[in-house]
């Protein structure tokens, strides 16, 4: 049982939406992830899929929910009778990023407008430990929290029609990596040679909500080397277990 | 094998969708009109989740490289087998080297080819539904070949012709439930949603349909949250988007309405210029 005020409502006839206050907060995230795991444990037989975001869990049921009120009561009792302070084991992933202007198409503009040198931008971007709140938008696109305010910068008014796979960008208060080639409006500051989504793996995305991410600056030679290793499936992303 | 002779407007392989990977950002996908896809499989005594080919609008032709039994369901795209018009919603015996052609829509916009035993392209993450970066192919192109099993015998006698309700294609009332942000709308906005006749713009595809008419909107964007096929989003410009099967798993626009399962299937048979009204159901 916790102190958050949460609401339950139907989302169509086959889904239930559980919402916390509209804030982006790590404690809320921890509670959401613990609750999500418990729902999966208790309800896996009737659930088709489940997704959590910054402040919500959406449960997709296999069939039309016969009695929405009873189902909500059942979910509430899972919430109230469980210890949600149990934090799942998480990993810190070290993500190599090449911040060379060859990849960082908007580094110069950012540098001029922010009155920071490119190396200062790199330092500010690669210093924090970012939190993965959820994965959405594209397969393997991590919604990260923790971008230093000095790097907040509005999205481009005209999005690029083509942003490369691995492009690292800044869009207002968010930073992230495009896991595949896509159209995109974020300011591109670098490129990561690793795969964020691999359809050939049983767990196609290595990272989970609640995990942490840190960017490790690499040069262009290292970028090419890692790209080759990834192509031959010989690259293991460096990681450490947190809260062990 | 089924060989693509002409790719046409947009043809894909689809089953009922990919589940269990939404939390890694993978869209559900699946046949746009699942009523029609299930019907094709039912008539062939397949499993309802067996893979079918979804043909949009026509201009498409295929060659069967093995004997089999097929069923065509969904929209009437003027299908002809070896230049003879075919009966919809009926099992049809197909000989090796037969050519199946879809020319143009008579009613509806999406037809489904079911094949006895289903199409056997690679199952990726629990589904055969095409999706970019998930399956190797994301749209059928000329000379592509899709695997199926040879079938020599089939009991046709048990099948009566199934009569399809034409309203599935002509219905202009699209049933919706209130979406999560419906309660944030003003009473004027709610009235506009219910009383406006909406038209599907030319921006419509498997991801979503943008509508032409605009609703005055001063709602704030929401903190990015889950969306699903059938979610109706109200964008800051007041334009509405009806999300369809290939939609992203999350979005930041208010989710004002949610189409019922059946309404998504009906929407799947509509296209540019078609108009409809939302009908709120409890």
DSSP assignment string, B60-88:
EEEEESS-EEEEEEEEE--EEETTEE--S
CB-closest option in B133, B230, B249 to A197: B133
Counting one residue from chain A and one from chain B, the pairs whose CB atoms sit within 8 A come to: 108
Give the minimum alpha-carbon distance from A115 to chain B in angstroms, rounded to a whole number.
30
What are B's interface residues with A at a Cβ cutoff of 8 A?
Answer: 19-28, 124-125, 132-135, 177, 179-180, 222-226, 228, 230, 248-250, 255, 258-261
Give the minimum alpha-carbon distance from B47 to chain A in angstroms, rounded to a whole number.
16
Give the minimum alpha-carbon distance from B149 to chain A in angstroms, rounded to a whole number.
25
Asked if the Cβ–Cβ distance from B260 to A13 is below 8 Å, we say yes
Give the minimum alpha-carbon distance from A205 to chain B in angstroms, rounded to a whole number.
6
For CA atoms B166, B172, B178, B181, the dihedral sign is: positive
pLDDT per residue over B53-94, tens digit each? Answer: 999 999 999 999 999 999 999 999 999 999 999 999 999 999
By C-alpha distance, the chain B residue nearest A141 is B25
Asked if the Cβ–Cβ distance from B25 to A52 is below 8 Å, we say no
ipTM above 0.90, yes or no: yes
Asked if the Cβ–Cβ distance from B225 to A56 is below 8 Å, we say yes
Which residues from A are below 8 Å from B260, CB to CB?
Answer: 12-13
Q: What angle do CA A165, A170, A172 make, to 5 degrees?
A: 140
pLDDT per residue over B203-253, tens digit each? Answer: 999 999 999 999 988 887 788 899 999 999 999 889 999 999 999 999 989
Please report which confidence band the pLDDT of residue B194 belongs to, taking 50, 70 and 90 as the band edges: very high
Q: Quote the CA–CA distance of B269 and B262 in Å, as a whole number.
A: 11
Rounded CA Rg of chain B: 19
Section B157-170 average pLDDT: 79
The per-residue pLDDT of chain B, averaged, comes to 94
> What pLDDT does A155 receive?
85
CB-closest option in B19, B20, B250 to A136: B250
With H, G, I as helix, E, B as strand and everything else as coil, classify residue B22. helix
Give the minimum alpha-carbon distance from B180 to chain A in angstroms, rounded to a whole number.
6
Q: Quote the CA–CA distance of A124 and A109 in Å, as a whole number.
A: 16
Asked if the Cβ–Cβ distance from B26 to A139 is below 8 Å, we say yes
Q: Quote the CA–CA distance of B242 and B88 in Å, as a whole number.
A: 28
- Chain B interface includes A14 (CB < 8 A): yes
By C-alpha distance, the chain B residue nearest A8 is B180
Q: Quote the CA–CA distance of B130 and B181 in Å, as a whole number.
A: 31
> What pLDDT does A67 receive?
93
> What pLDDT does A1 receive?
46
> What pLDDT does B159 receive?
65
Q: Identify whether the C-beta of residue B5 lies closer than 8 Å to the C-beta of residue B62.
A: yes
Residues near B131 by beta carbon (within 8 Å), at least 6 away in sequence: B18, B26, B27, B29, B138, B246
> What pLDDT does B171 receive?
93
> What pLDDT does A2 receive?
57
Which DSSP state fits B154?
-
> What pLDDT does A244 receive?
59
- What are the phi and psi torsion angles at A107 (to 5°)? -60, -45
Successive 10-residue mean pLDDT values, chain A, 244 residues:
82 96 90 93 92 96 94 94 77 97 96 96 97 94 95 87 94 92 92 95 92 97 97 93 79
């Amino acid at each position: 049982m916790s102190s958050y005020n949460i609401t339950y409502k139907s989302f169509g006839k086959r889904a239930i939406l559980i919402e916390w206050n509209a804030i982006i907060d790590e404690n809320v995230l921890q509670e959401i992830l613990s609750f999500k795991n418990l729902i999966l444990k208790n309800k896996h037989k009737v659930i088709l899929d489940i997704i959590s975001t910054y402040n919500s869990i959406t449960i997709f049921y296999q069939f039309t929910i016969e009695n929405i009120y009873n189902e909500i009561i059942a979910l509430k009792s899972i919430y109230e009778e469980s210890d949600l302070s149990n934090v799942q084991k998480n990993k810190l992933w070290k993500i190599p990023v090449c911040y060379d202007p060859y990849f960082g198409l908007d580094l110069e503009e950012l540098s001029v407008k922010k009155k920071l040198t490119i190396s200062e931008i790199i330092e500010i971007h690669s210093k924090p430990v970012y939190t993965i709140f959820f994965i959405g938008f594209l397969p393997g696109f991590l919604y990260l929290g923790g971008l230093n305010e000095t790097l907040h910068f509005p999205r481009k008014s005209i999005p690029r029609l083509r942003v490369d796979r691995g492009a690292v960008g800044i869009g207002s208060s968010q930073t992230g990596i495009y896991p595949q080639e896509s159209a995109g409006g974020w300011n591109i500051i670098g490129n990561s040679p690793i795969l964020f989504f691999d359809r050939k793996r049983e767990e196609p995305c290595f990272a989970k909500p609640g995990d942490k991410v840190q960017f490790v600056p690499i040069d262009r030679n290292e970028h090419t080397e890692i790209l080759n290793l990834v192509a031959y499936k010989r690259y293991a992303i460096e990681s450490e277990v947190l809260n062990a | 094998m089924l060989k693509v002779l002409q790719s046409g407007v947009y043809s894909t392989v689809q089953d009922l969708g990919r589940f269990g990977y939404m939390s890694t950002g993978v869209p559900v996908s699946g046949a746009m009109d699942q009523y029609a896809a299930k019907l094709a499989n039912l008539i062939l005594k397949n499993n309802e989740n067996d893979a079918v080919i979804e043909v949009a609008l026509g201009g498409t032709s295929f060659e069967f490289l093995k004997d089999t039994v097929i069923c065509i369901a969904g929209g009437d795209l003027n299908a002809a087998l070896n230049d003879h018009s075919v009966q919809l919603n009926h099992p049809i015996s197909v000989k090796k080297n037969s050519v199946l052609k879809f020319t143009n829509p008579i009613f509806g916009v999406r037809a489904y080819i079911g094949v006895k035993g289903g199409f056997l392209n690679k199952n990726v993450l629990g589904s055969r539904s095409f999706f970019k970066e998930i399956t190797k192919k994301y749209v059928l192109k000329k000379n592509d070949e899709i695997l199926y099993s040879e079938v020599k015998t089939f009991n046709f006698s048990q099948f009566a012709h199934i009569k399809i309700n034409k309203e599935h294609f002509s219905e202009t009332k699209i049933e919706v439930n209130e979406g999560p942000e419906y309660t944030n709308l003003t009473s004027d906005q709610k009235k506009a949603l219910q009383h406006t006749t909406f038209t599907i713009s030319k921006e419509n595809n498997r991801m979503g349909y943008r509508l032409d008419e605009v609703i005055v909107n001063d709602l704030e964007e929401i903190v990015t949250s889950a969306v699903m096929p059938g979610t109706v989003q109200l964008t800051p410009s007041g334009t509405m988007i009806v999300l369809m099967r290939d939609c992203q798993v999350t979005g930041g626009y208010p989710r004002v309405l949610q189409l019922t399962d059946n309404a998504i299937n009906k929407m799947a048979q509509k296209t540019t210029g078609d108009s409809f009204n939302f009908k709120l159901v409890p």
